Structure 1
Amino acid sequence: MKLNKEQWSWVFYDWANSGYGIIVTTAVLPIYFKTVAEGSGVTAANATAYWGYANSLGTLLVAILAPFLGALADYQGFKKRLLTGFATVGMVMTLGLALVPAAQWQWLLVIYILSVLGYSGGNLFYDSFLTDVSDDQQMDRISSTGYGFGYLGGVIAFLLFMVLQFTHGFGRLSSLAVARWGFALAAIWWIIFFIPILRNVHQRHSLSVTRAPLRQSWQRVWATVRHLRQHQQLAWFLVAYFCYIDGVDTIFTMATSIGLDIGIDSTTLILVLLVVQLVAFPFSIFYGWLANKTSTRTGILIAIIVYLLICADALFLRSTTDFWVLAVLVGTSQGGIQALSRSYFGRLVPKERSSEFFGFYNILGKFSAVLGPVLVGIVTQMTGQSRIGAASLSILFVIGLVIFWLIPKMTADHAE
């Protein structure tokens, strides 16, 4: 299947903000913030705590607002405006990170929280545009291509950042100058590749605009919550999705700590992160092909089973080689399970209300990796082995697998 201009423009928004995801959120800003905060007299423990609070607050704000913002975006002409507005906030605030004086670590956190709002809010509307740029038959391939190119774009942006670092002799990753270059690069990358979706992607499914769209949006959200039993298949899928995506996100977020526990240095961990992203690029697209040859449901089931194998393999995690094997396995299915979950959900929702329903999807995505880290922490403390803690995530994948497997039996009709 060949993608048209509008579909490629949609795909490249994932490419556009991928620089933010890997440079700002994952690799650079956490180190930069601890450097400037501790340089201003903040203890290491407090710096870590403040960073955690900032991430939690940004996530919480987006999660609370997601259904309402989604419902508002369903009105004709609102989705593009809201995407543009939130993306602009994200891009401007990301650039702003490079301009904050080193001593003003409090402002750095404030600007970062605003950038999270822009990034996460923009992704809500980006996801819901999937129903506008594709029909049900195309959805798997387009969603998978989006995730695949998002991973590839993140790797290229990060490698470009590393080239700038070494060719200009800025020194170590913790250097303030290097970090500011990274923030500027992530913002510029986002701005450039945002242009295609701004120009070429259009809202095709919508509700007629009312005289009071804000009030009507709130009323629609509460009505959906009260009548959720009318969407049984969708509701059960969200329950299954919450369980297995919690496991997926926990493996990603806890990987660094587990790697450090078995003696892997930080440079190797960054290299592992890049390799996972590179592996995820072709395998995300492969899952789209697989779903087209079999079914979306089959693709998701296979991906969950792969993650169960990852949890089992974690029991034997003792060396750097073992960690590399585990990382490659994660890369084979991380993008695929996310992409097919998005397209599966996209086929279930009423197209003219896709943004509202993707708001609920967004909530579960934001609150994922809540149960997982707690489970890993408890089991690790009880056993003294982080690899056993990681293996305990199999509980979440089993629950998600069983619920997802039973959805056709629990509902009258189902999507394949």
Structure 2
Amino acid sequence: MVRIQKERFKYTKEERSWIMQDWANSAYSIMITTAVFPLFFKAVAESGGLDSATSTAYWGYANSIATLVISLLAPVLGALADYKNQRMPLFTWFTLSGILATVGFAFAPEGNWQYLFLFYVLSAIGFSGANIFYDGSLVDVTTLTRMHRVSAAGFGWGYIGSSIPFVLFIILQLTGILPISQVMLIKLGFVMTAVWWFIFTIPYWKNVQQKSYIEREPEIVRSSFKRLFHTIRDIRQHKQAFLFLLAYFFYIDGVGTIFKMATAIGSDIGLSSNDLIVVMLVVQFVAFPFSILYGMLAKRLGAKNMIFVGITTYIIICVYALQLESLQTFIILALLVGTAQGGIQSLSRSLFGQLIPEGRSNEFFGFYNIFGKFAAVVGPFLVGIIAQITGNSLDGVFALIVLFVVGGVLLVRVKIPEVHEV
């Protein structure tokens, strides 16, 4: 049992700066991962001779490749980042890599979907790699009792922050105020995303410090591998953390797949680009209050129970996906996603933060990311394969239901340490 001095809930400068990083990088999530870039990629790919189902499949393959690469790197990167003064340089390198690759979309040759495929993979690796160190820094900016609400606030404000450049892009698109082509406007949107990401990362660079660390050793890369080996060998000493990761592996695969494939699937059922963009914007604003609500209810009902609420919601989403045939049905499904997406992700992050040993947050969040990201290889690949075989991507979404069921069953067995205020 852990007892912590009761605190009045008011965000500290470090907590606000940490939350602001979610505000910064979430612009990538909506503009690149979810709303605009998938449609742009599909349009370019189909103009290059691919049919709709095949272009969706290649979008799934791009996500699978990026997540596979970062999954293989995550544990070693996390172990390296636990050494004193190592986390920030690694965070900076991956962040700038992702930002520059995002700028690179603006220079794509006309009709060259292979260029976009490559630069998307590079940008996704930068984005996901930076998040290993961002997630690991949660334990350095707050306390155990505040962790669920701070993590939820990150996701919640991230939805609002990501919506601002998105709304600006929509305004420019609908008004036609700039005398440029649609393609140039979309490329401008990619550049705006990169600039937003960079500017609002500055508070994190200034105010978030690595407080928990291991003193540097000679040959830190070799030492990092040795620590990883010992952690895996002594996995029984961290049974609850790794049991949670196993549950997380399954249910977060479904969450990530639905998030990444949503607009491509909406396009496949005949929705226009404008319809999809507006729906994604609505989801952002729905997700904001629900993410905050999940964090507040976790204090009263428990984070584990609230994750079960999210898993149940996603099972309903998988079943309902078979009914997708119009804008109305897609809006209903998207709103359901909005009620659960931020909450299940934020509470998973903070719950894991309570299960890991002190001073090794980056190493363990490296495992957290390998389980989360490597899981995301399976889902998009599954949807892509089924889309090619059946010609209907909705069948793949329904198949994801098994991931949520297995994840929920495993989560039942995870024992959460009691954290009390005194």
Normalised by the length of structure 1, the TM-score is: 0.88
Contact 1:348 1:415 in 2 (8 A): no
Query: Following the alignment from structure 1 to structure 2, what is the Cα–Cα distance between the partners of residues 260 and 95?
Result: 25
Name the aligned partner's letter for residue 32 of structure 2: V
Question: Following TM superposition, by how much is the alpha carbon of 1:392 offset from its aligned partner in structure 2, in angstroms?
Answer: 4.0
For the pair 1:242 / 2:253, whether they are aligned, the reply is no
- Partner of residue 190, structure 1: 197
Within 5 Å, give how 1:82-97 maps onto structure 2. Answer: 82-97=90-105
Query: Following the alignment from structure 2 to structure 1, what is the Cα–Cα distance between the partners of residues 95 and 168?
Result: 22
CA deviation vs aligned residue, 1:42-85 (integer Å, no higher than 9, x gap): 43258767655544333222111111011000011111121112
Rate the CA distance shift 1:361–1:229 in 2: closer, same or farther, 3 A. Answer: same
- Partner of residue 156, structure 1: 164
Match of 1:291 among 290, 294, 298: 298
- Partner of residue 177, structure 2: 168
Match of 2:345 among 335, 338, 343: 338
Gaps of 5+ in 2: 1-8
Query: Following the alignment from structure 2 to structure 1, what is the Cα–Cα distance between the partners of residues 268 and 32?
Result: 24
- Partner of residue 205, structure 1: 212
Rate the CA distance shift 1:320–1:364 in 2: closer, same or farther, 3 A. Answer: same
SS in structure 1 at match of 2:354: helix
Match of 1:361 among 357, 363, 368: 368
Query: Following the alignment from structure 1 to structure 2, what is the Cα–Cα distance between the partners of residues 106 and 260?
Result: 20
- Partner of residue 137, structure 2: 129
CA deviation vs aligned residue, 1:12-44 (integer Å, no higher than 9, x gap): 1111112222223333334444556677xx432
Match of 1:15 among 18, 23, 48: 23
Match of 1:44 among 41, 47, 50: 50
Higher RCO, 1 or 2 (CA under 8 Å, sep at least 6)? 2
Question: Following TM superposition, by how much is the alpha carbon of 1:324 offset from its aligned partner in structure 2, in angstroms?
Answer: 1.9
Rate the CA distance shift 1:97–1:255 in 2: closer, same or farther, 3 A. Answer: closer
Question: Following TM superposition, by how much is the alpha carbon of 1:348 offset from its aligned partner in structure 2, in angstroms?
Answer: 0.7
- Between stretches 222-231 and 142-151, larger displacement belongs to 222-231
Query: Following the alignment from structure 1 to structure 2, what is the Cα–Cα distance between the partners of residues 293 and 336?
Result: 15
Rate the CA distance shift 1:313–1:206 in 2: closer, same or farther, 3 A. Answer: same
Match of 2:81 among 59, 73, 93: 73
Question: Following TM superposition, by how much is the alpha carbon of 1:368 offset from its aligned partner in structure 2, in angstroms?
Answer: 2.7
Match of 1:60 among 56, 61, 68: 68
- Between stretches 102-111 and 80-89, larger displacement belongs to 102-111
Query: Following the alignment from structure 2 to structure 1, what is the Cα–Cα distance between the partners of residues 60 and 383?
Result: 18
Contact 1:73 1:356 in 2 (8 A): yes
Query: Following the alignment from structure 1 to structure 2, what is the Cα–Cα distance between the partners of residues 258 and 271?
Result: 15
Contact 2:94 2:127 in 1 (8 A): yes
SS in structure 2 at match of 1:98: helix
Match of 2:184 among 165, 177, 180: 177
Query: Following the alignment from structure 1 to structure 2, what is the Cα–Cα distance between the partners of residues 396 and 150?
Result: 26
Contact 2:35 2:263 in 1 (8 A): no
Name the aligned partner's letter for residue 34 of structure 2: T
Give RMSD over aligned pairs: 2.9
Rate the CA distance shift 1:402–1:104 in 2: closer, same or farther, 3 A. Answer: closer
Name the aligned partner's letter for residue 221 of structure 2: L
Query: Following the alignment from structure 1 to structure 2, what is the Cα–Cα distance between the partners of residues 137 and 305?
Result: 26
- Partner of residue 396, structure 1: 403
Match of 1:350 among 349, 357, 363: 357
SS in structure 2 at match of 1:199: helix
SS in structure 1 at match of 2:166: helix
CA deviation vs aligned residue, 1:198-233 (integer Å, no higher than 9, x gap): 001111100011121111011111221222222111
Contact 1:242 1:365 in 2 (8 A): yes
Name the aligned partner's letter for residue 354 of structure 2: R
- Partner of residue 223, structure 2: 216
Match of 1:115 among 99, 111, 123: 123
Question: Following TM superposition, by how much is the alpha carbon of 1:388 offset from its aligned partner in structure 2, in angstroms?
Answer: 6.1
- Partner of residue 5, structure 2: none
Contact 2:38 2:263 in 1 (8 A): no
Rate the CA distance shift 1:61–1:262 in 2: closer, same or farther, 3 A. Answer: closer
Normalised by the length of structure 2, the TM-score is: 0.87
Equivalenced residue count is 408
